Amino acid sequence: MFAPRFWWKPRLTPQAALLWPLGVVYASLAALNGWLRAQHPYYAGVPVISVGNLTVGGAGKTPVVQWLAGHYAAQGVQVAIVSRGYGGSLTGQPTQVDANTHTAAQVGDEPLLLARHFANQPVTVWVGNNRPAAVRRAEQAQAGLIILDDAFQRRDVARDVDILVLNGMHRAPWGNGLPMPAGPLREFLSRRRRATFAIVLNEPGGRPLPYYGISAYRMATVATPRSLAPLKGKKLLAFAGLAQPEKFLATLVRNNLRIGAAIAFPDHHAYTADNLEYLQNRAKKAKLTLVTTSKDAVKLPQGFARVVDITLAGPAAADIFHEINIITGL
């Protein structure tokens, strides 16, 4: 399913007004659930960084998690990324993701993406519905830093740093400011103040940072030159299964790549044989080169499409790591 367009209207629409009472109920239950989990959280013996968001999908959590893990692994820290493994079948018990044997259907597309990215580096990826248990397993495996992926609402593990990721491309990053199903929020907007700070991705500029109501840093997602090089001069058929696929297209446009066609699939889409046949036939007929995201690539046959890899860049990087290091002692 795709997010309703009225969610991202800065003004209240009739649809949002009609669903507003359900949004209040949903957010109230979310607040109660979070409060109950926070009463007896698990305290790890190593620093814990949580990365999450307030809206449903598409903010850019995974690139931030990957960027943080890569930085600390390069400093010699044994990093463990802990995720619930959305969409995976092996989340009943804590499971360490094996990049060579596990599939996205087993552990989720984002954990598998991270495990493959960090193959042969001091970074492990764990999935499990019971996040405290997964954190304990990571500690037993000698992790020196835990990064919780998508954990802003899951407060059953205490964290030293709570990072909120915001999609700065949106004119209204909170959408209409209402909880689901009236808007895109997972909980009441006021809960953003639990965050240590926010990382605002890809904001065009001009908006004062106090606008977000919390301490914030601006960063940008950028495509790696190595992944862009094979695409220069080619006409592309871009496809992606993301909550906000327009972000992927914007990356291609920013790098002056030629887009002949673009196809959007739902977030976390599991590609079928019919999907693959359609994409191949359409690309062949129009003489286009298939290109997709690294998140989608883990669910496709090897070599099916060119892949654009993403990382973070920006002058705020040093300040972000300085604040984290001061808080955690890393």
By the 8 A CB rule, do 319 and 217 touch?
Answer: yes
* Reported confidence tier of residue 211, pLDDT bands at 50, 70, 90: low
Task: State the CATH architecture for 225-308.
Answer: 3-Layer(aba) Sandwich (3.40)
* Residue in the structure block whose two tokens are 């596990």: 102
Mapping DSSP to helix (H, G, I), strand (E, B) and coil, where does residue 52 land? strand
Residue 164 forms beta bridges with which residues?
52, 198
* Reported confidence tier of residue 46, pLDDT bands at 50, 70, 90: very high
Average pLDDT over residues 296-308: 96
Is 11-220+313-328's fold the same as 225-308's? yes
Q: Which pLDDT score, from 0 to 100, does residue 206 have?
A: 63
Average pLDDT over residues 206-213: 68
What is the C-alpha separation between 171 and 74, in angstroms, rounded?
A: 35
Average pLDDT over residues 298-313: 95
| Sign of the dihedral through C-alpha 68, 69, 70, 74 | positive
Q: Which pLDDT score, from 0 to 100, does residue 169 have?
A: 80
* Reported confidence tier of residue 2, pLDDT bands at 50, 70, 90: low
Average pLDDT over residues 182-202: 94
* b (16+ CB within 10 A) / e for 235-247: ebbbbbbbbbbeb
Please tell me the chain's helix, strand, coil percentages from 3-state DSSP, rounded to the nearest 5: 35, 20, 40
Q: Which pLDDT score, from 0 to 100, does residue 284 have?
A: 96
Q: Which pLDDT score, from 0 to 100, does residue 172 have?
A: 75
| CATH no. of 11-220+313-328 | 3.40.50
Q: Which pLDDT score, from 0 to 100, does residue 98 have?
A: 96
Instruction: Say yes or no to pLDDT of 209 above 70.
Output: no
Instruction: Say yes or no to pLDDT of 109 above 90.
Output: yes
Average pLDDT for the chain: 93
Kindly state the percentage of the chain with pLDDT values over 70.
98
Query: pTM of this prediction?
Result: 0.93
- Which residue ranges make up each domain of the chain? 11-220+313-328, 225-308
Q: Which pLDDT score, from 0 to 100, does residue 1 have?
A: 57
Going by C-alpha positions, the residue among 294, 297, 256, 253 that lies closest to residue 279 is 297
Average pLDDT over residues 31-39: 92
What is the C-alpha separation between 18 and 59, in angstroms, rounded?
A: 26
Instruction: Say yes or no to pLDDT of 213 above 90.
Output: no
Kindly state the percentage of the chain with pLDDT values over 90.
83
* Range from 2-6, 9-13, 229-233 carrying the lowest mean pLDDT: 2-6
Tens of pLDDT along 110-169?
A: 999 999 999 989 999 999 999 999 999 999 999 999 999 999 999 999 999 999 999 888
By the 8 A CB rule, do 257 and 290 touch?
Answer: no
Tens of pLDDT along 220-253?
A: 999 999 999 999 999 999 999 988 888 899 999 9
Q: Which two tokens stand for residue 113?
A: 């993406």
* Range from 7-16, 19-28, 46-55, 116-125 carrying the lowest mean pLDDT: 7-16
Average pLDDT over residues 302-322: 95
